Structure 1
Amino acid sequence: MFPFRAALNASTLFPYQLGIREQITVAAQAGYDGIEIWMKDLQQYVAGGGSTAELRREAADAGIEIVNAISFIPWADEDEGVRQRANEQTDEELSLLAELGCPSFAAPPFGDVAGASLDDIAVRFAALAELCRNHGVAPVLEFWGRAPKLSRLSEAAYVAMQSRVADATLLLDPFHMYTGGSSLADLDFLSGGRIGIVHANDYPEQPPRETIGDDDRLFPGDGIAPSGDFAQRLHQLGYRGFLSLELFLKDVGGRSALELARHGLDKMRIAYSV
């Protein structure tokens, strides 16, 4: 049984250089429930004269939910001037996301965070969340395995708790759990309601954890990730939200975009069955 909802992260289609409308079409035709867009693709669409209202209708007509956005806002940066510009970026981007009906966006430790304490980051996340309330679009706190701070699930949980943001949620990603040294057992400290969205991917034994990169991600079930145990724990926590297939492929194996998307959906449903 696959107890989750399936989304396609647009990064998985990057080799095909599709516009956001085409990405939505592929996701719908492949059988996904939703799509996780990248902010740069939405901005390119709007800059070319595209209408967010029209895109929202097209996605709804196709039966695709726009579930989350991937953005890179330096909200936790050590430089106050950078954070002020980040506030302006937040307002600009979330205005578009609100028009599109996208409920949330990823908030990773992007920028210079090496000198920041977790308490500093918690205060900055609280400020970000307050700004986001004006738009009705929520930040989903993401940890990056390679980040100098906020690299582990335990750190993300601490930041969320210390921020005092009552409805704070986390973005989980097996690749970042692996590279940052998080444990599956860490999930036991969460509840399903604290998980905003989950990225789906796998990773090989080689290159080793110390040097593995995003391009080395694999389809779920093709590597050494404990995908089945991960899915079981998510299910036990009561999570029934989206698993979003996020890959950064160099080689698409001769598949068309639609063939690759369908293959990824099949792999995800098998690897994360419970």
Structure 2
Amino acid sequence: MFPFKIALNTSTLFPFNLNVIQQIEVAEEAGFEGIELWMQDIEAYISGGGTIQEIKSALERANIEFINAITFFKWADVDAEVRKAAFEQAEKEMQLLKLLGCKYIAAPPFGNVEGTNLDEMAEYFNYIVRLGRQVGVEPILEFWGKAKKLSTLDEAHYVLDKSNISNGKMLLDPFHMYVGGSDFSGLKSLKGEEIGVFHINDYPNNPEKDELTDQDRVFPGEGALPTEEIAQLLNAIEYDGYLSLELFIEDFKGKTAAEVAKYGHNSVRKSFELL
């Protein structure tokens, strides 16, 4: 049984230097149902003469849902002027993303967040979500395992609860859970509806946790991640949304983008199949 849907985070294809149209076409060919595009790639395509309509048409032709955009605005920065600029940036980006039919936008702890306490983060997240809902794109709370603040599942759950946002959601990532010291059993404390997107990757036993970087991520099933346990936990809390493959491997040893995408799709399905 496989109760999830599978998406591709296009960071996985970065070594191939594809534009967003090509990324969408590769994802379609490999059988992905959803896609996470990076704002930098969308903006590069448009600044190069491409149009919003061309991207939207490519998504429609592929019958792929644009589930989430990856971008970086300093919504939780300790500096009020920096936050103000971040909210303006986010609003502008969400207005563009709305035209593309994008569902979510990631809100990670980007910027100088060490001096921001969790209650303040909850207040700022409330603001960014209300802003997004006015536009029609939902910000989802992401934690980073090596962030100075908002580095664990417990912290993210606290911020989500304290934000007083109805039906607020988080973006979870097993790599960040592992390097930040979050126990996977903590997923039991969540409701499936609190997860907007679940990133999928794996991590090796070596190097040590403190020395791991994004580039060390490997395909699911090829590292130490307890994929079967996580699949069972997600199913138990009734999460049936997207598992989105997000890798930052810099060299695929001669494989084509199509081969990498297909292999990645198969590895997600195989690793998270429920027995």
Aligning the two structures, in what range does the TM-score lie when normalised by the shorter sequence?
over 0.9
Map 1:118-267 to 2 at 5 A: 118-267=118-267
- Deviation at 1:132? 1.0
The amino acid of 2:28's aligned partner reads: A
Partner of 1:39: 39
C-alpha distance in 2 between matches for 1:166 and 1:34: 25
1:2–1:270 contact (8 Å) kept in structure 2: no
For the 8 Å contact 1:36–1:68, the answer to whether it is kept is yes
Q: 2:79 maps to which residue? A: 79
Amino acid at match of 1:92: K
Partners of 1:166 and 1:53 in 2: how far apart? 32
Give the secondary structure class of the aligned counterpart of 2:209. coil
Percent of matched pairs sharing the same residue:
48
Task: For 2:44, give the aligned amino acid.
Answer: Q
Task: Report the CA distance between 1:50 and its aligned residue.
Answer: 2.0
Q: Please give the secondary structure, in 2, of the residue aligned with 1:134.
A: helix
CA distance in 1, matches of 2:14, 2:61: 24
TM-score (norm 1): 0.98
Cα deviation, residue 49, structure 1:
2.5
Deviation digits for residues 230-264 of structure 1, max 9, x if unmatched?
A: 01110111111111100001220211000000001
Unaligned runs of 5+ in 2: none
C-alpha displacement of 1:53: 2.5
Structure-2 residue corresponding to 1:23? 23
1:2 Cα deviation from its structure 2 partner? 2.1
Distance between the aligned counterparts of 2:251 and 2:55, measured in 1? 29
Cα distance in structure 1, aligned partners of 2:103 and 2:251: 32
Deviation per residue, 1:7-37 (Å, 9 max, x gap): 0100000000000000000000111111110
Q: Which residue of 2 aligns with 1:96?
A: 96
Instruction: Give the aligned partner of residue 272 of structure 1.
Output: 272
Query: By how many angstroms is 1:74 displaced?
Result: 0.3
Q: Superposition RMSD on alpha carbons, in Å?
A: 0.8
Deviations 1:184-236 (A, max 9, x none): 11111101110000000000000100111000000000000111100111011
Amino acid at match of 1:100: L
Q: Helix, strand or coil for the counterpart of 1:198?
A: strand
Query: Hey, what does 2:6 align to over in structure 1?
Result: 6
Task: Please give the residue correspondences for 1:111-122 in structure 2 after superposition, counting only pairs within 5 Å.
Answer: 111-122=111-122
Using the TM superposition, give the Cα deviation of residue 52 of structure 1 relative to its aligned residue in structure 2, in angstroms. 1.6
Instruction: Look up the equivalent residue of 2:266 and give its one-letter code.
Output: D
Q: Output the CA distance in 1 between the equivalents of 2:142 and 2:181.
A: 15
> How far off its partner does 1:44 sit?
1.0
Letter in 1 for 2:259: E
